């Protein structure tokens, strides 16, 4: 093992970040920068790819400056999943804004495919449900919306990929067009049983296979970048939630983590078994090493931290997340207020793209403190739904490892333990997404011999034990289910 560091690029939904880790898992240097969210129409969410590139490059440069003479052994990349970009192979210029994972504009496409009877086939091959959340329908929309794009695609002039793929292209000067198996597994175009792009799925979604990148292991060779000076090997890539699973050292089947960033994502390692959910959870690839995938079961909360961001930027009733926590603790309960954050529909287990958010149970005495508390409680309620769905599928984890920005809120984690009725565990480093990318890069660079060796980097910060009476838990969960029923669209 060298005495250098691993640089991780963590390209998220609302910000780009770079973090340098020592081989003991410590954060040596970091930088972060937000970029604008673009909302052209109701339910549409876009990003400027050039803003993503600028902020990610700047944060990397700032982090490297902080390192001084320390040697960077390898670079790892983790990214917001499902968000896609289509770009010109010759110039590298995007032909349209990135369409973000939260975007719902292609709901009519996926609903039409479901109505035509294709959902079973798509689910069997990809592990996913037919929903605009995933990448395939977004790529097709761009090709249809941009004049001449389909003709250019047919000539081989265009490339497409998730954000990791676009960054790799830019970092290597267009020499490498590749993604890893975890990101490929989120497109609805990749057969996670065979580990290949699927011609029938590409035809179904009207996405030319010529657009798609090569799929590689999560720890492996993605070329070298000369952007930051001497050649820097790119050796680890994973979608953000899978990277967090690695950062949380959930390497054994049955171990589960939940990450709370813009959204909330519960991922359960199922080992070599691709488990088929009967509760509309997702089967996906947790990571792939040596050509062998490890699978996972996943539940997705579409709005978690973005709900708090909406309270700050939309309603302008809080200063920041810490202020939301202070307000939540200033009242003993929500006084019957429930906030259902279906800003972009509902994720698992509902998968209702037409649902919209609501604040329910308001009274004359309701205050911003009750609303702030309801927003935070909603994260715990949605997590409870996902764990119940896993239990319905025959999987009942005994504890939950949590990470992400919201995991720093002690009050929220205690409430979560109460509502879940199980132990909630927070690691010393809650930025496990970037850490997971660094670990994969270290394995890919030969600095760690295996993921098991990297497991020693995980450190406990605090455990939260449930102390809520079962009757109170049942009453609050019943209230949440009543609120959810009010916003869901009729079947």
- pLDDT value of position 372: 93
- pLDDT value of position 405: 84
Residue 330 is assigned to a structural domain of this protein: no
Residue 429 has pLDDT above 90, yes or no: no
Residue 3 has pLDDT above 80, yes or no: no
- pLDDT value of position 138: 97
Helix, coil or strand: residue 4: coil
Average pLDDT over residues 235-264: 92
Taking each helix axis from N to C end, the angle separating 107-115 and 119-126, rounded to the nearest 10 degrees, works out to: 110
Residue 190 is assigned to a structural domain of this protein: yes
Instruction: State percent of the chain over pLDDT 70.
Output: 99
Residue 487 has pLDDT above 90, yes or no: no
Angle at 416 between CA 411 and CA 422, to 5 degrees: 125
- pLDDT value of position 295: 95
| Span 120-162, pLDDT tens digits | 999 999 999 898 989 999 999 999 999 999 999 999 999 999 9
**Whole-Å CA distances, 461 to 184, 203, 425, 464:** 33, 49, 8, 10
- pLDDT value of position 392: 87
Chain mean pLDDT for the chain: 92
pLDDT class of 491 with cuts at 50, 70, 90: low
The alpha carbon dihedral of 95, 97, 101, 105 has a sign of: negative
Convert 321-330 to b/e letters by CB count within 10 Å (16 or more is b): bebbbebbbe
Residue 9 has pLDDT above 60, yes or no: yes
- pLDDT value of position 489: 79
- pLDDT value of position 261: 83
Residue 438 is assigned to a structural domain of this protein: no
| Residue 481 CA neighbour count, 13 Å, CB half | 11
Element (H, E) at 265: strand 264-271
Spatial CB neighbours of 23, under 8 Å, sequence gap ≥ 6: 1, 2, 5, 6, 442, 447
- pLDDT value of position 24: 87
- pLDDT value of position 1: 54
DSSP 355-418: ---EEES--TT--HHHHHHHHHHHHHHHHHHHHHHHHHTT---SEEEEESGGGG-HHHHHHHHH
- pLDDT value of position 75: 96
Residue 339 has pLDDT above 60, yes or no: yes
Angle at 221 between CA 80 and CA 193, to 5 degrees: 65
pLDDT class of 279 with cuts at 50, 70, 90: confident
Residue 298 is assigned to a structural domain of this protein: no
CATH of the domain at 184: 3.30.420.40
Structural domain containing residue 144: 5-239
Residue 2 has pLDDT above 80, yes or no: no
Element (H, E) at 484: helix 470-487
Dihedral pair phi/psi, residue 9, rounded to 5°: -100, 120
The whole-angstrom separation of Cα 52 and Cα 36 is 9
- pLDDT value of position 454: 84
Average pLDDT over residues 457-472: 92
Instruction: State percent of the chain over pLDDT 90.
Output: 74
> Measured in Å, how far apart are the chain's first and last C-alpha atoms?
56
Q: Before 303, cis peptide (omega within 30)?
A: no
Residue 271 is assigned to a structural domain of this protein: no
Average pLDDT over residues 234-241: 96
- pLDDT value of position 32: 96
Residue 213 is assigned to a structural domain of this protein: yes
The torsion angle over the Cα atoms of residues 312, 343, 87 and 159, rounded to 10 degrees, is 130
pTM of full prediction above 0.85: yes
Strands (E), 408-476: 423-427, 460-464
Domain count of the fold of the chain: 1
pLDDT class of 411 with cuts at 50, 70, 90: very high
Residue 471 has pLDDT above 90, yes or no: yes
Residue 425 is assigned to a structural domain of this protein: no
**Whole-Å CA distances, 248 to 340, 387, 449:** 28, 18, 18
Residue 353 has pLDDT above 80, yes or no: no
Average pLDDT over residues 458-476: 92
| Span 432-461, pLDDT tens digits | 899 999 999 999 999 998 898 888 888 899
Average pLDDT over residues 474-485: 92
Residue 96 has pLDDT above 70, yes or no: yes
pLDDT class of 347 with cuts at 50, 70, 90: confident
Residue 223 is assigned to a structural domain of this protein: yes
């Amino acid at each position: 093992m060298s005495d250098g560091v691993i640089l991780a690029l963590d390209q998220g939904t609302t910000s780009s970040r770079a973090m340098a880790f020592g081989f003991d898992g410590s954060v040596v240097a970091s930088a972060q920068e937000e970029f604008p969210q673009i909302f052209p129409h109701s339910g549409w969410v876009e990003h400027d790819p050039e803003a993503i590139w600028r902020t990610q490059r700047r944060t990397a440069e700032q982090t490297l400056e902080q390192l001084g003479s320390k040697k960077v052994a390898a670079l790892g990349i983790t990214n917001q999943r499902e968000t896609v970009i289509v770009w010109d192979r010759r110039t590298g210029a995007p032909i349209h804004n990135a369409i973000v994972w939260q975007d719902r504009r292609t709901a009519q496409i996926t609903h039409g495919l479901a109505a035509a009877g294709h959902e079973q086939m798509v689910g069997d091959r990809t592990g996913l449900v037919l929903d605009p959340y995933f990448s395939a329908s977004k790529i097709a929309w761009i090709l249809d919306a941009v004049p001449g794009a389909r003709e250019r695609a047919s000539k081989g002039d265009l490339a497409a990929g998730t954000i990791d793929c676009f960054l790799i292209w830019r970092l290597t000067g267009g020499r490498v067009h590749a993604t890893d198996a975890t990101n490929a597994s989120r497109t609805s175009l990749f057969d996670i049983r065979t580990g290949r792009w699927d011609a029938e799925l590409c035809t179904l979604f009207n996405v030319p296979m010529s657009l798609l990148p090569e799929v590689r292991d999560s720890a492996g060779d993605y070329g070298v970048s000369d952007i930051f000076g001497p050649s820097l090997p790119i050796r680890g890539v994973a979608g953000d939630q899978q990277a967090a699973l690695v950062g949380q050292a959930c390497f054994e089947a049955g171990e589960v983590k939940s990450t709370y960033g813009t959204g909330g994502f519960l991922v359960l390692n199922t080992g070599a078994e691709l488990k088929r959910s009967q509760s509309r959870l997702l089967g996906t690839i947790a990571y792939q090493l040596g050509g062998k995938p490890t699978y996972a079961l996943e539940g997705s909360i579409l709005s978690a931290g973005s709900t708090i961001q909406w309270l700050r930027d939309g309603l302008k009733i809080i200063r920041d997340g810490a202020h939301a926590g202070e307000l939540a603790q200033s009242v003993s309960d929500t006084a019957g207020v429930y906030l259902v954050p279906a800003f972009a529909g509902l994720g698992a287990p509902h998968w209702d793209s037409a649902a919209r958010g609501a604040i329910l149970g308001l009274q004359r005495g309701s205050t911003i403190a009750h609303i702030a508390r309801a927003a935070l409680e909603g994260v715990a309620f949605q997590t409870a739904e996902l764990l119940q769905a896993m239990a319905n599928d025959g999987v009942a984890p005994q504890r939950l490892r949590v990470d992400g920005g919201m995991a720093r809120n002690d009050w929220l984690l205690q409430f979560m333990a109460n509502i879940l009725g199980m132990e909630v565990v927070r690691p010393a480093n809650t930025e496990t997404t970037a850490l997971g990318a660094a670990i994969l890069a270290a394995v890919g660079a030969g600095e760690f011999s295996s993921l098991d060796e990297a497991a020693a980097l995980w450190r406990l910060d605090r455990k939260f034990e449930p102390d809520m009476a079962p009757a109170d838990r049942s009453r609050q969960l019943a209230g949440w289910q009543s609120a959810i029923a009010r916003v869901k669209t009729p079947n």
